Amino acid sequence: MVSSNLDESLTHLKGWDCKTDDNIEQNPIKQKHFVGAFTIIQFHCGGIEFEEVIIYGRVYEVHCDFICEHAYITNHFFHLKPQFCYTLHNQSFISMHLNIYFNQVCKLAFEAYDSDLFQTTIGYSHYAYSLMEQNPNIKDSINYKTLANLYHNLGFCYMKIYEIKKGFYWLKKELDIYLNMPKVKDENLLTCLRFLGYIYYKLRQYDTSIDYCKRALSIWIAKFDINHSQFGHLYTMLGIAYFRTEQFDKGQECFEKSLEIYLK
């Protein structure tokens, strides 16, 4: 196998299962080499099964059985034995028989995000980011709206799987792009500020959470429906942050506003 994420995959609890032949007692990994950002691994075993994993690169099957379940290959799958035999358990298997490009991987990441496949979105998004980092020429041609969406999706997905600090990292990168763009959609900026306000609250940085929530509220009041339940949630979070900083009068005011919205 040739991949940029093999070490991560092989240490993941659900990442792989290796079925060795009876006469093989040694470690199933026969050889491992590093070439740039990629790892090349030869397995000395009769079968490899991958579950809930993305392989960023190529897979070569030579005299073994290759089984995928909720697994993705982002480049080529090569079968190199006379009788082709691999089992596909669902329709999520992707084999792209062409050179992979940044925009193609972004498209896969966005499709996974739209389908609420959070781990898959994270995998494809990181692969797209690694392509950009490895090729400086890509950076100059990237639509920054696409890049902001990529960062946002990463941040949101990490929040959904409760990896708050990782979500914070990518949402901050998204915000940095917005702050340097001449024009930003109010909805995108609002969502980014709201999520960052939530993350700062979870990190117990209540003063900073208050600042981000207030910035989000100012956009919401000026541009969007103030009777929406999410608007009430934002007031509730701001009220709790005020209480945490012992600003009880302001906290009470926020709770009263959120209750008013919920009762409408």
Q: In this predicted model, what pLDDT tens digit does every residue of 125-142 receive, in sequence order?
A: 888 887 777 666 666 667
Q: Quick check: 83 pLDDT over 80?
A: no
pLDDT given at position 86: 42
Contact residues for 139 (Cβ-Cβ < 8 A; gap 6+): 132
Task: Please give the CATH topology (third level) of the domain spanning 203-264.
Answer: 1.25.40
- Longest CA–CA span in the chain (Å) reads 76
Q: What is the pTM of this model?
A: 0.64
**How do residues 18-39 score in pLDDT, each as one tens digit?**
554 444 445 566 777 665 556 6
pLDDT given at position 60: 59
DSSP-assigned beta bridge partners for residue 18: 48
Domain 101-184's class? mainly alpha
pLDDT given at position 38: 62
Residue range(s) in the chain whose domain bears CATH number 1.25.40 = 101-184, 203-264
pLDDT given at position 133: 73
**How do residues 209-249 score in pLDDT, each as one tens digit?**
999 999 999 999 999 888 888 899 999 999 999 999 999 99
Q: Quick check: 69 pLDDT over 90?
A: no
pLDDT band at 120 (very low <50, low <70, confident <90, very high): confident
Q: DSSP alpha helices (H): ranges in the chain?
A: 6-11, 102-114, 118-134, 136-141, 144-160, 164-179, 186-202, 206-223, 229-244, 248-262
The residue whose two tokens read 């691999």 is 86
